[in-house]
Structure 1
Amino acid sequence: MNVALRSNWRSLAVFVFDMIAVTAAWGGAFLLRFNGDIPSEYLSLLWTGLLVLLPAQALIFRGAGLYRGIWVFASMPDLLRILRAAAISIFAIAVGVVLLAPQPPLPRIVFVAYPLLLILIMGGGRAIYRVFKEHREFGALRGVGKPVIVLGAGREAANLVEELGRSAEWNAVAMLDDDPAKRHREIFGVRVLGGIDEVGRWAEILKARHAIIAMPEASPARHRAVANLCLEAGVQAFTLPAIGQIISNHAAITQLRRLHVEDLLGREPVAIDSPQVRELFAGRVAMVTGAGGSIGAELCRQIARFNPARIVAFELSEFALYTLREEFAERMPEIDLVPVAGDIKDRARVAEVLERHAPAIVFHAAAYKHVPLMEEHNAWQAARNNALGTLVLGEAAMEAGVDKFVLVSTDKAVNPTNVMGATKRLAEVVCQDLQARSTRTRFEMVRFGNVLGSAGSVIPKFQAQIERGGPVTVTHPEITRYFMATHEAAQLLLQAAAMGEGGEIFVLDMGEPIRVLDLARHMIRLSGYAESEISIVFTGLRPGEKLYEEVLANAEQTRPTHHPKLRVARSVMPEGFIMTELRDWLAHRGTRGDDEVRRDLRRWVREYAPYNPPKPVLVARGQENVTGA
């Protein structure tokens, strides 16, 4: 039997059932009125009325859409359609009584009893069929999956529990919610046992090693607190996306995902002034240097949302440029992405690209950013790439008439203790000097901290170490860093670019600093391991590395902007700064040793104070190999 024929037979069976329900409800109403003993004159009225009622009800049921639903999925919309059909039916009966004036008159109780019985029979029949089908198809699955605790008892959690009942992978054994009114209640057979802060106790009692955070409407701070409760309890947690990200008409269970490190930051979602940003990019050409890197690639993705005329992706790495081009070709083929290979220190290439594409705005994200690599053996390359590259690109942007030039800077440029931070501060000084000489191009700088998951960052390093079975290496037990998600940083960069008037150093709200040791422990637990299974080793601070990052230099003052996550720092230019002398120093054709570069950098960046931590000393403590600095 083909699908269409089977569907027609099912629709016919439902229709026949509904006609039987009409007959039973109509006869039942008369039986109720006369206590089961219907007088002969009313028997005639019953059958005559039924002959008129059946075709009328068939039309009403069809018009009410009763045969669009599938019984096995019968739910509230189906009940509402039955209620609507019953209301229309009683109205039609009343009109018929007035027009036909039957004798004897129709008993008044029929007007009440008939629709109630009709709703009971039709709705009950559908509900019984659904229960029967679900028990037959999914009843054997209950209790066979991994025990899981659902955190939350709202609408989304209820939908999830219902779906888990049909899953062979999971078995919902309990729900937890902070609302006292929901305690000891049941939702689809699963009991709400207590508050969410009891997840550790109930996980131990119920032998559940998994939990699902079904609280999409919770604030990021609350979500973070619940995630931490799961980690501390040794429970592997999954989560539903935020309420605004939930995809309608998709099963809740299909939208589950493992907790990410970002979930533990508890940061509020970024809201940008989209009309202001759109005005900056719509129909205009934007250029991004370092476009193959984490921030550069995300900038390209975010800019693409605002209908630019073209995105010029400038990148030195051939593979990174190829990867970006392939991504845009597959996911955003409507965007005109121009992949340009080149070195930002190459004046001829930079000038050619700017002249050919005439970008209105340039985001300069190309830089050497890895502190230890740039500190030893590569200090001169860091100075040339970060400072000279900014100078070459900035001057070329002025000559090409670029409207805005945005330097992607770093919190390590504040009171720098390493070559990378000092060269990025020098890049800021270059932009400040260019701004003072510019008649059209407006130069802006944006500082922020570490980007989660970026190339060379601690997150992928920890992930690789955990996958190998450890140990996870942390430089110092007290080291802290500011962390931000890549998409968040890119959005705020666009917002700062739209707001800037020239010369500002924008400082992003990085939230609270996070101990790297805590991050390592969280990642171990997120990977499903206990801390006793993956050891942590402290290796000591690396050259140029400091325990705490700063966002603002001591002498700087900030002022708020209309965006809550952006402030502006007015930084003072170094005394006696002469661009020609810096240009001559950077244009040196030979190489310079690391010590010479550090010495000369102090001339241009007065607040730069190289820091060399003492050599680490290895000690042992419990399950961890601890290297104290």
Structure 2
Amino acid sequence: MTYRQRLPLFIILDSCIVLTAIFVSGILVNASIYVLTSPIIISSVTILLSHHLFSLKLKLYKKVWEYASVGELIIIFKVVSYSILSAAIVQQVLVQETFLRMLAVTWTLHMLLIGGSRFMWRLYRDSVMNKNDNKNRTLIVGAGSAGTMVARQLSKDNDSHLLPVAFIDDNIRKHQLDILGIPVIGGVGKIASAVQELNIENIIIAIPSLSKKELNTIFLECAKTKAKTKILPLLEDLVTGKVSVSQFRDVQVEDLLGRDPVDMDIESISESITGNVVLVTGAGGSIGSEVARQISMFRPKQLILLGHGENSIYSIELELGETYEGSSIEFFTEIADIQDAKKMAAIMADYQPDVVYHAAAHKHVPLMERNPEEAVKNNIIGTLNVAKAADWHHVKTFVMVSTDKAVNPTSVMGASKRLSEMIVQGMDRTSETKFVAVRFGNVLGSRGSVIPLFKKQIEKGGPITVTHPDMVRYFMTIPEASRLVIQAGALAQGGEVFVLDMGDPVKIVDLAKNLIKLSGNDINEIGIEFTGIRPGEKLFEELLQENEVHDQQVYPKIYIGKTAALYLEEIDDIISTYSKLDRDILRKRIVQLANQQTAYPTPAMSVSI
């Protein structure tokens, strides 16, 4: 029913209530005075008109009464009180007498009848219209403001299939208390027993301020049950109105394994990007495309998207063009191979970029192990081509995306990235361009990563294949990896290898178990099969060698490694001879060179923020 349709009904209803209150109060106080005399008629008309006037002024008729609470009760109190006060003033002015007892009783009846009429509708809706017979019994984790909001919304929403029956909260001061008539039955440790005792079918985690570690702890308790676990939408989506509080989402593996985000230094990033020309290589890949998205938020003058695959470059160009339609950003695309030195030089000459983010690379460990010459061509020679072109055309900052597999590498891929880091650091020593590298661990959900593989295996009914029960990896989300790359460009002094504090490593077998649970399947039904470590893989990854580590952070959660000896001549020799070498010999040479023991005589570099 619209407001225009509601208004006449409320005016008629309230008129009847006001007149009834006046009539009954007259009888209760003194029946003899309740003859229809002029003073009584004037008082009745005054109260009636005042009630409607103040109701319109205070927007009483616009309230949705199925959501009525203390705020609406206060408005009713004001409307009734102002109406009676107006009648008292009119009586004193026109009649020179105030019927205080009658007005007091009228006020009481007025309040009871107006308030009662409103709240009876809410009671009727909650008890009759909102039938709970077919609703799923739901446990809400978090009895704070967000959890209370969720419980209120679900209780009032007749279309919702969820019925909140209990709260879980670690705040012991709330235990054994009721919130909105729903009991707080205990802390997180009681989730499993509560699900069983209360026949819970759904669990909603309603604590927006949870850290990743805390969420993981709660989810592990929820995973002990067969109840479906969901989480409140992202706080930013709630605030911006993209979703409502009742639009819960499934818990994602990124929620459990991603790190708590590192805030960016917006001012320094803006100085290096806003209004400048930026080039991203590998812009169609997982990291490169996200780097492009995040850079666009800082409004560069031009953003050049360079990649080898036309479909992926077309997709990111289309996405950014639609997102920033009408903005001042100019987007350009270049389909090019970083192994083509002339093309790299020509692109740098055409656009004259201020900043280059080099994300193009081969990254698959087993594939590069079988094709070491391709790792040399793309990761080493390709990086050298882009770096030289940046140097020749006076790019201000060059940021290379590296990997934790470059530390003590056992694989061709990791070794090629370590040699690429050496090239970048070597270029920094002779160039006016600031060359830096950014090293981080595995990226959740990137193409070719373990999570998409596990999801496909679960969809097929299993089993999930894990190489070794003790294998561990560091994980971060694609957006955070991209933010780190951009932040490194803003912090760069030249020659650094920036490293993110990745937190605690995650066992791959635990990741597989979590994915099975999140998909709603049983671990025993899907199964986990151990296939053995593949060539080039390690049980664990490192972010810095022992003698590379600086304890001091240069930015929250960001470290830099010490400068290492660079084997540039040896790298040149590999580049000039790789095509003539047997694959086994080439593989061995690359890994040996990347692992060559060196002294670290150069003092630690520092970064001013």
TM-score (ref. length: structure 1): 0.88
Aligned to 1:22: 18
Instruction: For 2:597 and 2:136, locate their aligned partners in 1 and report how far apart those are by CA, in whole Å.
Output: 56
Aligned to 1:160: 150
Instruction: For 1:360 and 1:513, locate their aligned partners in 2 and report how far apart those are by CA, in whole Å.
Output: 36
Instruction: For 2:452 and 2:563, locate their aligned partners in 1 and report how far apart those are by CA, in whole Å.
Output: 34
Q: Alpha-carbon deviation of 1:479? A: 0.6
Instruction: For 1:292 and 1:491, locate their aligned partners in 2 and report how far apart those are by CA, in whole Å.
Output: 17
Deviations 1:143-184 (A, max 9, x none): 313333222223322332333342453333433223334334
User: Quick one: which amino acid aligns to residue 191 of structure 2?
Assistant: V
Gaps of 5+ in 2: 599-609
User: Quick one: which amino acid aligns to residue 113 of structure 2?
Assistant: I
> 46, 55, 60: which is aligned to 1:52?
46
> 506, 515, 522: which is aligned to 1:523?
515
Evaluate the alpha carbon distance shift between residue 93 and residue 588 of structure 1 in structure 2; reply closer, same or farther with a 3 A threshold.
farther
Evaluate the alpha carbon distance shift between residue 560 and residue 201 of structure 1 in structure 2; reply closer, same or farther with a 3 A threshold.
same
| Farther off after superposition, 581-590 or 531-540 | 581-590
Q: Is the 8 A contact 1:406 1:446 kept in 2?
A: yes
Aligned to 1:383: 376
Aligned to 2:484: 492
Evaluate the alpha carbon distance shift between residue 176 and residue 582 of structure 1 in structure 2; reply closer, same or farther with a 3 A threshold.
closer
Evaluate the alpha carbon distance shift between residue 111 and residue 382 of structure 1 in structure 2; reply closer, same or farther with a 3 A threshold.
farther
Deviations 1:178-221 (A, max 9, x none): 33343344445543333332111122233334311112233333
> 66, 72, 79: which is aligned to 2:73?
79
Q: Alpha-carbon deviation of 1:31? A: 5.5
User: Quick one: which amino acid aligns to residue 143 of structure 1?
Assistant: D
Aligned to 1:366: 360
Deviations 1:288-310 (A, max 9, x none): 11111111111011111111112
Q: Is the 8 A contact 1:432 1:443 kept in 2?
A: yes
Residue 281 (structure 1) aligned with residue 237 (structure 2): no
1:312-391 equivalent positions in 2, closer than 5 A: 312-333=304-325, 334=327, 335-376=329-370, 378-391=371-384
Deviations 1:450-491 (A, max 9, x none): 000011111011111111111101111111000001111111
| Farther off after superposition, 459-468 or 147-156 | 147-156
Q: Secondary structure at the match of 2:62?
A: coil
User: Quick one: which amino acid aligns to residue 391 of structure 1?
Assistant: L
Evaluate the alpha carbon distance shift between residue 603 and residue 237 of structure 1 in structure 2; reply closer, same or farther with a 3 A threshold.
closer
Q: Is the 8 A contact 2:238 2:245 kept in 1?
A: no
Aligned to 2:606: none
Instruction: For 2:107 and 2:276, locate their aligned partners in 1 and report how far apart those are by CA, in whole Å.
Output: 64
> 4, 9, 16: which is aligned to 1:13?
9
1:127-526 equivalent positions in 2, closer than 5 A: 127-139=119-131, 142-165=132-155, 166-167=158-159, 169-247=161-239, 252=244, 254-265=246-257, 267-333=259-325, 334=327, 335-376=329-370, 378-439=371-432, 441-526=433-518
User: Quick one: which amino acid aligns to residue 150 of structure 2?
Assistant: L
Aligned to 1:538: 530
Deviations 1:222-258 (A, max 9, x none): 2221112112334331000344442466774543100
Deviations 1:407-452 (A, max 9, x none): 111111111111111110101100111000012x101111100000
Evaluate the alpha carbon distance shift between residue 567 and residue 537 of structure 1 in structure 2; reply closer, same or farther with a 3 A threshold.
same
Evaluate the alpha carbon distance shift between residue 251 and residue 121 of structure 1 in structure 2; reply closer, same or farther with a 3 A threshold.
farther
User: Quick one: which amino acid aligns to residue 357 of structure 1?
Assistant: Y
Q: Secondary structure at the match of 2:209?
A: coil
Count of residue pairs brought into register by the alignment: 594
| Farther off after superposition, 265-274 or 112-121 | 112-121
Evaluate the alpha carbon distance shift between residue 62 and residue 198 of structure 1 in structure 2; reply closer, same or farther with a 3 A threshold.
same
TM-score (ref. length: structure 2): 0.90
User: Identity percentage over the alignment?
Assistant: 35
Evaluate the alpha carbon distance shift between residue 357 and residue 255 of structure 1 in structure 2; reply closer, same or farther with a 3 A threshold.
farther
Q: Alpha-carbon deviation of 1:578? A: 3.9
Q: Alpha-carbon deviation of 1:557? A: 3.1
Instruction: For 1:606 and 1:45, locate their aligned partners in 2 and report how far apart those are by CA, in whole Å.
Output: 103
Aligned to 2:546: 554
Aligned to 1:585: 574
User: Quick one: which amino acid aligns to residue 48 of structure 2?
Assistant: L
Q: Secondary structure at the match of 2:170?
A: coil
Evaluate the alpha carbon distance shift between residue 38 and residue 352 of structure 1 in structure 2; reply closer, same or farther with a 3 A threshold.
farther
Q: Is the 8 A contact 2:364 2:448 kept in 1?
A: yes
Aligned to 1:617: none
Q: Secondary structure at the match of 1:567?
A: strand
Q: Is the 8 A contact 1:508 1:566 kept in 2?
A: yes
Evaluate the alpha carbon distance shift between residue 251 and residue 419 of structure 1 in structure 2; reply closer, same or farther with a 3 A threshold.
closer
Let me know the Cα RMSD of the aligned residues.
2.7
Q: Is the 8 A contact 2:426 2:568 kept in 1?
A: no
Q: Secondary structure at the match of 2:339?
A: coil
Instruction: For 2:595 and 2:476, locate their aligned partners in 1 and report how far apart those are by CA, in whole Å.
Output: 29
Aligned to 1:627: none
Q: Is the 8 A contact 1:246 1:255 kept in 2?
A: no
Evaluate the alpha carbon distance shift between residue 519 and residue 38 of structure 1 in structure 2; reply closer, same or farther with a 3 A threshold.
farther
Evaluate the alpha carbon distance shift between residue 562 and residue 554 of structure 1 in structure 2; reply closer, same or farther with a 3 A threshold.
closer
Instruction: For 2:571 and 2:202, locate their aligned partners in 1 and report how far apart those are by CA, in whole Å.
Output: 59
Evaluate the alpha carbon distance shift between residue 491 and residue 249 of structure 1 in structure 2; reply closer, same or farther with a 3 A threshold.
closer
Evaluate the alpha carbon distance shift between residue 285 and residue 202 of structure 1 in structure 2; reply closer, same or farther with a 3 A threshold.
same
Aligned to 1:599: 588
Q: Secondary structure at the match of 2:60?
A: coil
| Farther off after superposition, 215-224 or 186-195 | 186-195
Q: Is the 8 A contact 2:548 2:561 kept in 1?
A: yes
Aligned to 1:626: none
Q: Is the 8 A contact 2:46 2:87 kept in 1?
A: no
Deviations 1:100-139 (A, max 9, x none): 06343331x5665554543332222112123324555432
Q: Secondary structure at the match of 2:230?
A: strand
Q: Is the 8 A contact 1:559 1:568 kept in 2?
A: no
Q: Is the 8 A contact 1:294 1:455 kept in 2?
A: yes
Q: Is the 8 A contact 1:145 1:167 kept in 2?
A: no
Q: Is the 8 A contact 1:234 1:525 kept in 2?
A: no
